[in-house]
Amino acid sequence: MITRRTFVATQASFAAALSMPGTIALAQVVSQPSRLLVGFAPGGAVDTIARLLVEHMKDYAPRLIIDNKPGAGGRIALESIKTSAPDGTALILTPASMLVLFPHVYKTLSYNPITDFTPTVRFVPVDTHWLSASK
């Protein structure tokens, strides 16, 4: 069970790590077209965030394609990214529930959330002022 003390200590250490220069590893730029998998139908909240995120990732790949794979609560997209090559050309934007809750909800999964995936960044839009198209 997580206590208030361990939660505050974890958040404080995370904030301290972010404030130190040189501690955040930047992703390398890939030279071939890449895809960002979304486990939900086009037009939904996760798809909208993915489309806004791709606009800011133009320096990552020469072409970044959003690949919607709806179905099974997002598990189809996770199965698809599990079988793709680990070369940085396939990314997934997923809510944490698919990796945190699904192992406890479903008896069998075709993926192991701890060993099959490598998290790259936690993306949480806290302030939505950047969503406006004022540029």
pLDDT for residue 129 is more than 60: no
Q: How far apart are CA 4 and CA 10, in angstroms?
A: 10
Amino acid at 8: V
| Phi and psi torsions of 51, nearest 5° | -65, -35
pLDDT tens, 31-69? 788 888 999 999 888 888 888 888 888 888 778 889 999
Determine if the pTM surpasses 0.85.
no
- In angstroms, rounded to a whole number, what is the distance separating the alpha carbons of residues 39 and 12? 32
Residue ranges and CATH numbers for the domains of the chain are: 29-130 (3.40.190.150)
Alpha-helical (H) ranges within 1-135 are 4-19, 45-55, 75-83, 97-100, 102-105
| Higher pLDDT pick, 32 / 16 | 32
> Rounded to whole angstroms, how far apart are CA atoms 115 and 10?
22
Q: Are strands 64-68 and 90-93 parallel, antiparallel or unpaired?
A: unpaired
**Number of residues written out for the chain:** 135
